[in-house]
Amino acid sequence: MEQLGIVKFIRKDAGKRGFGYIAPASAIANYDKDVVFFENDLRDIAFESLSKGMEVSFLLESRANNNGEIDWFARQVSVIKTETPHQISVPVIKKSTVEPKSLVSATYKLFLQELEQTFRIVERISNSGEFEDAVFCLLRLMGIHTVYQYPREAQAGQADGFFILENLAVMYDCTLRESFEEYKQEQIENYINKLSNKSQVTIYPRRADGGQGEKKLQIQNKSRQVWIITRGTTRELLDCDGIKVKEIAIRDLIDIAIARCKDLSYDVDRLSSQLFLLGN
């Protein structure tokens, strides 16, 4: 993954390759030192043109040292470019136009990196209740606003949630079990039955005060699917009279959420289509 940082030190002795240190913008776990780079790691700038304080992007590479400890190195180092002075026609505003544009660019890239790392934390959750809550949050952050979560206290044999997006209606269940098909068979049949041959579905979502509400949602002429959301692999399990039952990998949902954040043209129609086609 591309990282951002500031050049803190550079040195080049006669007849030797240059080297330096970069202070990463994001902390590296269990590592409190700056990252080393060498002259041959530079991509688009001569070593002699480097100066302390430059903002750079780079890829991290780890290597064990002689003591068996891990050191980190910067590879494919590129300077984050700013506008040159001749592009600015009024000298008096040179500082206010060039510097903020550079800072915004670097900060926004850092924001997207941190956002992706935060989303990826969901894959490491090992508590089933927290996993259900995280999936619900992820669906909302993805842009699915008509999504409901059922109260956990009343979930025996019930799904974990339900959502509608455009022409797609999904009843979903979350599990951390690796082998769930036999365990969930009766519940899956129950979910299919709830969605079969009906123009509307009645759900009992969790209210903001923690209680249980009741909602009747129209699903006529909508594509209906049952999702079992896991840490496994996205695939279609069966098709029962047009109702597709799928295992949906949480990492695939995270990938879609990240893609939507990074691509400003990623609209709700594209989101609906991509979710509909998962596992096909």
| pTM exceeds cut of 0.85 | no
Q: Where are the domains of the chain?
A: 1-81, 82-124, 126-277
Is the separation of the CB atoms in 113 and 3 below 8 Å?
Answer: yes
Residue (of 126, 148, 152) closest to 139 by Cα position: 148
Q: How far apart are CA 37 and CA 48, in angstroms?
A: 14
- Statement: residue 235 has pLDDT above 90: yes
160: burial class by Cβ within 10 Å (0-12, 13-18, 19+)?
buried
For the domain made up of 126-277, give the CATH fold: Restriction Endonuclease (3.40.91)
- Which pLDDT band holds residue 82 (cuts at 50, 70, 90)? low
pLDDT digit string, tens, across residues 89-100 = 444 444 444 444
Strands (E) in 101-213, as ranges, are 146-149, 161-165, 168-174, 200-203
Which whole-number Å values give the CA distances from 1 to 177, 205, 238, in the listed order?
Answer: 30, 39, 36
Domain 1-81 sits in CATH at: 2.40.50.140
